[in-house]
Amino acid sequence: MTAETITATTPSATIHPGWVRVCHWINVIAILVMIGSGWQIYDASPLFDFTFPRAYALGNWLGGALLWHFAAMWVLVVNGIVYVTLGLATGRFRRKLLPIYPSQVIADIKAALTFKLAHDDLSHYNAVQRVLYVGIIITGVVVVLSGLSIWKPVQLQELTAVFGGYDVARYVHFFAMAAIVAFLVVHVALALIVPKSLRAMVAGR
Amino acid sequence: MRERRIIPGVDAKLLIKDAGKLMPDPMRRSFLRGAASLGALTFLTGCNIIDGDTAENVLRKVSTFNDGVQALLFSQTKLAPTYSEADITRPFPFNAYYDLDEAPTVDPATYKLEVAGLVDNKKPWTLDELHKLPEVSQITRHCCVEGWSAIGSWQGAVLSDFLKRVGADTRAKYIYFKCAEGYTNTIDMPTALHPQTQMSFKFDHKILPRAYGFPMKIRMPTKLGFKQPKYVVAMEVTNTDHGGYWENQGYNWFGGL
């Protein structure tokens, strides 16, 4: 065996296995539809003193937005369940995202802000990435559960109560969306700054 | 009601091309394909898609599927949470697709509730007769499809008792309501038989004001606000889904909470 074939057949050559990439891009579509239609739904009865511009709100009117929202939710939830199940079952979450040490997080934030954070090994997540990826998975769970508690405040009233009732659950749902949007801004910006990470999520390596 | 509009002054194709320039060369082609479908789906030409007949048909099919899911989730014994007098939202909002001054005015002297379809006794009911039905009361949350909610207090007769009284065939699938202003609505029989589904004649122990649907509103704390007809003049027990004012425009048919 030559050194080349060894590298090619080593499992570490693949940064993201197929299921991660498929789930990732399905999630991209689902989450963008959920956010766009969610903004249109928000505009029908704003929680704060602002509305989202129509140009970025999907569905044309409340009824259209609700059709999008309650269709894309199946894609988001089914895909999310597949992703989390495989992430736990294959040990990928444990391997890639744990452990998280606060001291390392602080050190990596400092390194990132001074552009000294290394990106040579994309298969290894630094502490900031670990925190953000664990955080976004938890936020995903919160956005789905708070959404369910707004959708079914009678049939799932116990869940709605966990979120502090119908009115509070609407705020939880909103802030979970806001957290996802904030994550996306950072996530997309960093992917564009380090384009090989984008390539890895498309081609696997 | 439904405007057809895309982002003014923005060429969606050009936007995707610009995004493509940010990509490393070997990846550009596949990214473009991905971006085209994704962009089409959401921000770039999203409004076009919902206006496309195919997309709209698919979305409506999913909505019908969601009706089935909600019917499965619905429990006839699970009661909506109830609240205390102090929780009542004051003033309780008026909400309709028209202004209050355009709301129908029903003459109580000549009013008759028509009862039609699969029932033994089709005799119309006067308001006096309706007011003599045993009264129940509920303080529950009204959730609007728009997202806001308000807590109200309604008094009236249990719909399932009334259906028994008129000899309705409760194996039928639907109850269809007609209202004085032309509003219509079809609901599923399980919801009609839910113990909290009420023929409401009073709000907060006073005869319903015109704003809240005088002389009769159907109050269902298990459904969204638009599913609850006001100014009801006729009800029909039927196996035919006659749709409804908002449902026909795209709101989800079941509209359950």
CA A32 to chain B, closest CA, distance in angstroms equals 7
CA separation for the pair B7, B47 (Å, rounded): 8
Six-digit token pair at A56?
Answer: 């970025």
Residue B104 clears pLDDT 50, i.e. is over it: yes
Contact B64/A at CB under 8 A: no
Q: Which of residues 120-159 of A touch B (CB under 8 A)?
A: 150-157
CA separation for the pair B98, B227 (Å, rounded): 16
Which one has a higher pLDDT value, A129 or B51? Answer: A129
Using DSSP bridges, classify how beta strands B198-203 and B184-188 pair: parallel, antiparallel or unpaired. Answer: unpaired
Q: Provide the 10 A C-beta neighbour count for residue A63.
A: 21
Residues of B in contact with A152 (CB under 8 A): 73, 256-257
Q: What pLDDT is recorded for position A54?
A: 86
CA separation for the pair A139, B199 (Å, rounded): 42
Q: Are the C-beta atoms of B191 and B255 separated by less than 8 Å?
A: no
Q: What pLDDT is recorded for position B224?
A: 96
**Contact assignment for B149 to A166 by CB distance below 8 Å:** yes
Residues of A in contact with B51 (CB under 8 A): 60
Q: What pLDDT is recorded for position B154?
A: 97
Q: What pLDDT is recorded for position A18?
A: 93
Residue pairs between chains A and B whose CB atoms are closer than 8 Å: 127
CA separation for the pair B222, B76 (Å, rounded): 10
- Interface probe for A, chosen from B62, B191, B197 (most Cβ of A below 10 Å), is B62
Q: Are the C-beta atoms of A19 and A199 separated by less than 8 Å?
A: no
Residues of A in contact with B42 (CB under 8 A): 29, 32-33, 36, 58
Domain boundaries defined on chain B: 12-69, 76-249
Q: How confident is the model at residue A116 (pLDDT cuts 50, 70, 90)?
A: confident
Closest among A9, A2, A25 to A203, alpha carbons compared: A25
Q: What pLDDT is recorded for position B218?
A: 97
For chain B, state the CA radius of gyration.
23
Residue B31 clears pLDDT 50, i.e. is over it: no
Q: Which of A52-56, B35-39, B104-108, B220-224 has the lowest mean pLDDT?
A: B35-39
Q: How confident is the model at residue A113 (pLDDT cuts 50, 70, 90)?
A: confident
Q: What is the pLDDT of residues B165-209, one digit of tens each?
A: 999 999 999 999 999 999 999 999 999 999 999 999 999 999 999
Supply φ then ψ for residue A52, to 5 degrees: -85, 140
Percent of chain B with pLDDT over 70: 80
Closest among B180, B165, B183, B182 to B237, alpha carbons compared: B165
Architecture of the domain spanning B76-249: Alpha-Beta Complex (3.90)
User: Does some domain include residue A150?
Assistant: yes
User: Does some domain include residue A149?
Assistant: yes
User: Does some domain include residue A64?
Assistant: no
CA A198 to chain B, closest CA, distance in angstroms equals 9
Average pLDDT, chain B: 83
Contact A69/B at CB under 8 A: no
User: Does some domain include residue A110?
Assistant: yes
Q: What pLDDT is recorded for position A69?
A: 96
Residue of B nearest to A56 (CA): B43
Q: Which residues of B64-103 are buried (b: 16+ CB within 10 A; e: fewer)?
A: eebbeebeeebeeeebbbebeeeebeeebeebbeeeeeeb
CA separation for the pair A72, A29 (Å, rounded): 9
CA separation for the pair A19, A88 (Å, rounded): 13
A195: nearest CB among B24, B56, B252: B24
Residue B97 clears pLDDT 90, i.e. is over it: no
- Interface probe for B, chosen from A54, A149, A154, A199 (most Cβ of B below 10 Å), is A154
Which residues, other chains included, contact B142 with Cβ-Cβ below 8 Å and sequence gap of 6+? B92, B149, B150, B151, B152, B221, B225, B228
- How far apart, in Å, do the first and last CA atoms of chain B sit? 26
B251: nearest CB among A42, A63, A150: A63
- Interface probe for A, chosen from B29, B57, B58, B59 (most Cβ of A below 10 Å), is B59
CA A94 to chain B, closest CA, distance in angstroms equals 30
- State ipTM: 0.87
pTM tops 0.90, yes or no: no
Mean pLDDT, residues B42-56: 56
Residues of A in contact with B38 (CB under 8 A): 28-29, 32
User: Does some domain include residue A133?
Assistant: yes
Residue B24 clears pLDDT 70, i.e. is over it: no
- Interface probe for B, chosen from A29, A41, A67 (most Cβ of B below 10 Å), is A67
- Interface probe for A, chosen from B22, B25, B48, B50 (most Cβ of A below 10 Å), is B50
Q: How confident is the model at residue B94 (pLDDT cuts 50, 70, 90)?
A: confident
Mean pLDDT, residues A55-81: 93
Average pLDDT, chain A: 90
**Contact assignment for A67 to B60 by CB distance below 8 Å:** yes
Q: What is the pLDDT of residues A133-174, one digit of tens each?
A: 999 999 999 999 999 999 999 999 999 999 999 999 999 999
Tally of domains within chain A: 1
Range of the domain at A147: 91-196
Q: How confident is the model at residue A4 (pLDDT cuts 50, 70, 90)?
A: very low
DSSP state of B212: G
Q: What pLDDT is recorded for position A162?
A: 97
**Contact assignment for B63 to A54 by CB distance below 8 Å:** no
Q: What pLDDT is recorded for position A115?
A: 80
Residue A24 clears pLDDT 70, i.e. is over it: yes
B50: nearest CB among A64, A199, A203: A64
CA A60 to chain B, closest CA, distance in angstroms equals 6
Residues of A in contact with B246 (CB under 8 A): 63
Percent of chain A with pLDDT over 90: 71
Q: How confident is the model at residue A1 (pLDDT cuts 50, 70, 90)?
A: very low
Q: What pLDDT is recorded for position B219?
A: 97
User: Does some domain include residue A106?
Assistant: yes
CA A155 to chain B, closest CA, distance in angstroms equals 6
Residue B46 clears pLDDT 60, i.e. is over it: no
